[in-house]
Amino acid sequence: MAEITPELIKTLREKTGAGVMDCKKALAETQGDLEKAVIWLREKGIAQAAKRASRVASEGAIGAYIHTGGKLGVLVEVNCETDFVAKTPEFQTLVREIAMQVAAANPRYVSREQVPAEILQREREIYAAQAAGKPPAVVEKIVEGRLEKFLREICLVEQGYMRDPARTVKDLLAEYAAKFGEKIEVRRFVRFQLGESLDGGAE
């Protein structure tokens, strides 16, 4: 197995346009084989979706999901590039799936880019304090590992897809993007739970 270095990840990103975490995963799945990693990303639809990242997704749909009993509800906006795709049953199904994901997994943000720097810093400080006494290199590794786990819990696109936890919501969006040939993205969501405090939710 080839060592998965930052340089190797960078090369794969340049070849495919995929994100850092997707490139890391692809290289891990293919034992560090660059060409196989490119194929892996293309099979998942991630490479194609990444090439569409600069395009504008201004169409789409707002979907709603109300859980049985009416005590939990979600509104979500999912965007695509054309009105034609937005009106297809497959896209409407995706919107509903995303709304149900928000209801079930209670994310706080759409992606890690939306997480405020002060929250990340606070979490780092907590994890570092918990690992106090260990060598600095070990502490750093523990902090980064726990931070990744934290982001996977609070960011919608990083979460395991409720119907198949081996895939992330980001993987699901990439698969639909490959199917439609358009950029597909979740723009925002809001989750209401009966009786929660007014400042308890996050978009």
pLDDT tens digits, 147-186: 999 999 999 999 999 999 999 999 999 999 988 888 899 9
Asked, for residue 200, whether it belongs to a domain, the answer is no
Asked, for residue 203, whether it belongs to a domain, the answer is no
Burial grade of 201 (CB within 10 A; 0-12, 13-18, 19 or more): middle
Task: Measure the CA–CA gap between 56 and 137, rounded to whole angstroms.
Answer: 42
pLDDT of residue 203: 40
Please state the domain count of the chain.
Answer: 3
Inter-residue contact 16 to 50 (CB < 8 Å): yes
Inter-residue contact 65 to 85 (CB < 8 Å): no
Inter-residue contact 102 to 149 (CB < 8 Å): no
Let me know whether 68 and 84 are in one domain.
yes
Let me know whether 38 and 125 are in one domain.
no
Asked, for residue 165, whether it belongs to a domain, the answer is yes
Q: Structure pTM?
A: 0.67
Let me know whether 63 and 88 are in one domain.
yes
Name the residue among 202, 177, 193 with its Cα closest to residue 85.
177
Let me know whether 108 and 120 are in one domain.
no
What domain range is 11 assigned to?
Answer: 6-51
Asked, for residue 10, whether it belongs to a domain, the answer is yes
pLDDT at 199 over 60: no
CATH number for position 16: 1.10.8.10
Asked, for residue 1, whether it belongs to a domain, the answer is no
Query: How big is the CA angle at 1 (ends 169 and 5), to the nearest 5 degrees?
Result: 65
Mean pLDDT in residue range 53-63: 77
